[in-house]
Structure 1
């Protein structure tokens, strides 16, 4: 057994290329959890696997599924509880994040399966949360905590370039959307007949439910307009300005105290993630299991066909830990 980098992400290769993924996981289930907590993730390579085996293997490890309602990324459910990875355009880079980190109910585990690796690019870079606590300036943490956390604001409007109301909530009925928001700890306000604003205020840190470790999960580097506008320009929208409706950016983060977050803070967090990320080229049949609190992930741009499947498991209400 080796690791991707200095003990981070355990790499386990099949002794025999014919080793069945489900059978191996069933036999080794007792060691997977401590390995996952120690290394932040496990990369399984060389096992006999396909989509059906992946789905069964996930169920062996964890059958408790996570509802993706309210999630930011466009994705398709291809089997019961199995989704495509983000369907954002292939030349768009996805910044480092903990899956559903601003949701009230967050998956503790995330599973990836490589059906088809891209011809170039398309890696899933990874960052150790333990490492990020040491490299992000402490003053940033202190400032966020002094302001009571972070509020994430989304403006859903027909002119928005981002995921719309129907795709996000699975309905366009206002009462149903409001009920989902109440359930999930989201403030919802109709600014107009076709303009919904949602606000989610979350702490910047959670405690890991098994180890008690402090984990930084705030995604200000994704939600700050300065950062996502830079990504849009890199994507090809040269000269783009901040898209907005009535002077409200389509999405943004502010301190929970309603104070604006300076772009230098978001940029410092983004740069720290850039420096610390570790990646590997996907191979057909690879299975990656992550502890979603101990490890963040992203996606690099790619060319060619890329088909990575995802399963989100072990929902936990974050206000309970």
Structure 2
């Protein structure tokens, strides 16, 4: 009688190597397969599951990790990786940037015109409950430019000019937003901001999140809220620079467009604007100091197709550089 023999081999888990992407910068920590060649999606998911505690601690300590040379080609594959890193992905409700939801709670990172730079900011830092973590995926890198610069907000807190830091720390930031109620208009409609056309649902959200509001006679929605200018990290307690005043403020727009917007709307009805929390104006000089510190401290590196960048959204801010050619960066948060 012949007996077939079946041999079982245990497949060793994937090993990785870590390094600094650019010395002496420690942000982000680069994680790559230890063996040459790209590792599979299943290898990466297994690695995240196996090393979850270490990854969580590394994100707290260093602020960001860059997963590189893993085979991630499809949008659904990125969603799987994002959910491994963030079990509960959140919708982009109340978000400023023009985005398209591509699947589930995965979005395009931004559809802001390619020729403009987007300043560094923590995602949804003007909301009552910002997402603790954000994950980006390079589905297609631009031909030139298009980097996603990042900056350590602990370092920003230490290096921000003392007189500017004191104002933001003591007064906070008052964010004002005017959203149109039509299918087309300047900026996003309130239906796009809140991902619903149900006014009652929007009002419940606004009240639950300590946002003052009023509806205008022509169906537009005006909101305002006061949020911190700095923040203690909810886990580590480290002090952070944490606001989007320079992004919301009218001076973020170039002089020509700024003049047109002010002539068209007046300051009170601008799509977005920011003041100190006591309603005093944030001066051009203060904002110039903020922007100078942001960009002098930023880390900028080129995307490679397939990259996954995971950030602690409290301790690390991100932006976008201008670019040329097709570009597709995806994002998920929670």
Give the TM-score, by structure 1 length: 0.89
Cα distance between partner residues in 1 of 2:173 and 2:258: 29
Q: Does 1:103 align with 2:124?
A: no
Matches within 5 A, 1:238-317: 240=260, 242=262, 244-248=264-268, 249-313=270-334
Matches within 5 A, 1:1-321: 1-5=18-22, 6-16=25-35, 17-20=37-40, 21-50=44-73, 51-147=75-171, 149-157=172-180, 161-230=186-255, 233=256, 237=257, 240=260, 242=262, 244-248=264-268, 249-313=270-334
- Is the CA contact 1:114–1:282 (under 8 Å) kept in the aligned structure 2? yes
Q: CA deviation at 1:261?
A: 1.3
Query: RCO (CA 8 Å, sep 6+): is it higher in 1 or 2?
Result: 1
Residues 1:239 and 1:139: Cα distance change in structure 2 (over 3 Å)? closer
Q: CA deviation at 1:276?
A: 1.2
The residue that corresponds to 2:13 in the other structure is none
SS in 2 for 1:107: coil
Q: CA deviation at 1:247?
A: 4.4
- Is the CA contact 1:13–1:45 (under 8 Å) kept in the aligned structure 2? yes
Cα distance between partner residues in 2 of 1:195 and 1:166: 10
Cα distance between partner residues in 2 of 1:238 and 1:77: 29
Give the TM-score, by structure 2 length: 0.86
Moved more, 78-87 or 290-299: 78-87
Unaligned runs of 5+ in 2: 1-17
Cα distance between partner residues in 2 of 1:202 and 1:238: 25
Cα distance between partner residues in 2 of 1:180 and 1:224: 24
Cα distance between partner residues in 2 of 1:74 and 1:138: 34
- Is the CA contact 2:27–2:65 (under 8 Å) kept in the aligned structure 1? no
Moved more, 66-75 or 167-176: 167-176
The residue that corresponds to 1:317 in the other structure is none
- Is the CA contact 1:19–1:47 (under 8 Å) kept in the aligned structure 2? yes
What do residues 280-313 of structure 1 show as CA deviations (whole Å, max 9, x unaligned)? Answer: 1111110100011111000011111111111102
- Is the CA contact 2:250–2:258 (under 8 Å) kept in the aligned structure 1? no
What do residues 210-266 of structure 1 show as CA deviations (whole Å, max 9, x unaligned)? Answer: 211111111111122122244xx5xxx597453553542331111111111112111
Cα distance between partner residues in 1 of 2:317 and 2:157: 12
Cα distance between partner residues in 2 of 1:145 and 1:10: 30
Cα distance between partner residues in 1 of 2:128 and 2:220: 23
RMSD: 2.0
Computing the radius of gyration over CA atoms, which structure comes out larger, 1 or 2?
2
The residue that corresponds to 2:10 in the other structure is none
Q: CA deviation at 1:160?
A: 5.3
- Is the CA contact 2:141–2:328 (under 8 Å) kept in the aligned structure 1? yes
Unaligned runs of 5+ in 1: 314-321
What do residues 74-97 of structure 1 show as CA deviations (whole Å, max 9, x unaligned)? Answer: 111211121111111111211100
The residue that corresponds to 1:319 in the other structure is none
SS in 2 for 1:192: coil
More strand by share: 1
